[in-house]
Amino acid sequence: MDKITSEIMGAKKIAIAGHIRPDGDCIGSCTALSLYLNQIKKEFKLDQIDVYLENFGNEYDILSHTKEIKHSYETDESYDLFISLDCGSMDRLGNSRKFFDSAQKTINIDHHISNSKFADINHVVPTASSTCEVLYSIMDDELISKEIAEALYLGIIHDTGVFKHSNTSEYTMQVAGRLISKGINFSVLIDETFYAKTYMQNQILGRCLMESILVLNKKVAVASMNRKMLDFYGASSGDLDGIIDQLRVTKGAEVAVFIYEIQFHEFRVSLRSNGAINVNKIAVYFGGGGHIKAAGCTMNGTVHDVINNLTPHIEAQLKELNLLY
Ligand code: AMP
Ligand code: MN
Ligand code: MN
């Protein structure tokens, strides 16, 4: 932490960014850190704090400050310090990679077990529920405003599935309690950013579940969406949140797989485990990563190619654990 503070103290221009196709933890952590740095800006003599993230759904506009986030990368700005949040590897920085490359110093704050420690200073806590939880642990509680608390809380609820995933620890709940004490409207944050669905999102969820299949002796639930379907609904990646969570709770399933086509014959793969199977290991094999029970990667080919390439890896682990037959 001392190293992080001294780098922040020594910088005038800071860029903050997270991973491609940002999720709640990514948006929450970038917003929270930016608000926090703005608060200590004068004392630390910071001139400029910019946040870069890819486009995301308007449900996150509930956080103050998301309007300030930059979605265009067409600038020649270069920064003294680049802070990467919730991002396990350099390639997942997407377009903000150029700010990482040109920065004098880089910091990586994250909680992915697969994190490749790609920055000058790496603060990676795989036992933490979320990057927001890691951020809380390095922030001064007294300086956390209601707005910062909202952003941190949002990240925690998204990565823990509203405190239900096993990454939720006693400390997670203590942090959540502290954040609630700042006067945040947690019910609205949870409903509007996590549970609320548009009609289109509900239709997609229904369709994916209806067309889902069980393979490997019903131990694996698989659903997919091709480009044509996504275009038909006018859906983007944020519209697909929640599908994998519903697949995972299929009775008897050890693993849930959800794949969708990001471009022709290129699929984004989401994997979830109910505990026995290490899906991070599988995602890492295919060039991705994540956590033991929630991981992702990108794979090429048709839907069937992807499923056929993926299942032997799940099968091997199921067999090893005598879970298959
Ligand atoms: P997702 O299925 O996209 O929600 O991802 C599950 C978890 O794995 C999240 O914590 C992601 O940040 C992480 N993850 C997904 N894809 C990758 C990847 N290619 N490399 C590293 N981590 C990933
Ligand atoms: Mn994330
Ligand atoms: Mn996260």
Ligand nearest to the CA of 294: 1
> Measured between alpha carbons, how far is 24 from 30 in angstroms, rounded to an integer?
10
- Which residue has the CA at smallest separation from atom 2 of ligand 1? 270
Residue 325: pLDDT band with limits 50, 70, 90: confident
Q: Is the pLDDT of residue 203 over 80?
A: yes
CA–centroid distance, residue 95 to ligand 3 (Å): 19
Instruction: Look up the CATH number of the domain holding residue 117.
Output: 3.90.1640.10
Task: Kindly state the average pLDDT of the residues 208-226.
Answer: 98
Domain total of the chain = 2
Same domain, 303 and 248: yes
Q: Is the pLDDT of residue 7 over 80?
A: yes
Q: Pick the atom of ligand 1 nearest to 287's CA.
A: 19
Last residue of a domain, one of 130, 164, 195: 195
- Which residue has the CA at smallest separation from atom 15 of ligand 1? 296
Q: Are strands 48-52 and 121-124 parallel, antiparallel or unpaired?
A: unpaired
Condensed to tens digits (0 to 9), the pLDDT of residues 43-84 reads 989 999 999 999 999 999 999 889 999 999 999 999 999 999
Nearest C-alpha neighbor of 120 from the set 147, 67, 81, 158? 81
Instruction: Record the pTM.
Output: 0.94
User: Which residue blocks in the chain are alpha helix, DSSP H?
Assistant: 2-10, 24-39, 41-44, 97-102, 131-138, 146-160, 170-180, 186-190, 199-210, 227-233, 243-248, 279-285, 303-320
E strand or H helix that includes residue 15: strand 13-17
Residue 206 sits in which domain range? Answer: 199-320
| Residue 47: how many other CB atoms lie within 10 Å | 10
Last residue of a domain, one of 195, 216, 246: 195
Is 295 close to ligand 1, i.e. is its CB under 6 Å away?
yes
CA–centroid distance, residue 26 to ligand 3 (Å): 6
List, in sequence order, every residue forming a beta bridge with 309; answer none if it has no partner: none
Same domain, 17 and 86: yes
Task: Kindly state the average pLDDT of the residues 264-271.
Answer: 98
Supply 235's token pair: 């859906």
User: Cα 193 to chain center, whole Å?
Assistant: 14
Is position 253 within any domain? yes
Same domain, 189 and 249: no
Residue 1: pLDDT band with limits 50, 70, 90: low
Task: Out of 270, 282, 286, 292, give the residue to mutate to test ligand 1, the one with the largest number of ligand atoms within 8 Å of its CB.
Answer: 270
Last residue of a domain, one of 161, 195, 229: 195
Task: Kindly state the average pLDDT of the residues 283-302.
Answer: 97
Is position 325 within any domain? no
Condensed to tens digits (0 to 9), the pLDDT of residues 98-155 reads 999 999 999 999 999 999 999 999 999 999 999 999 999 999 999 999 999 999 999 9
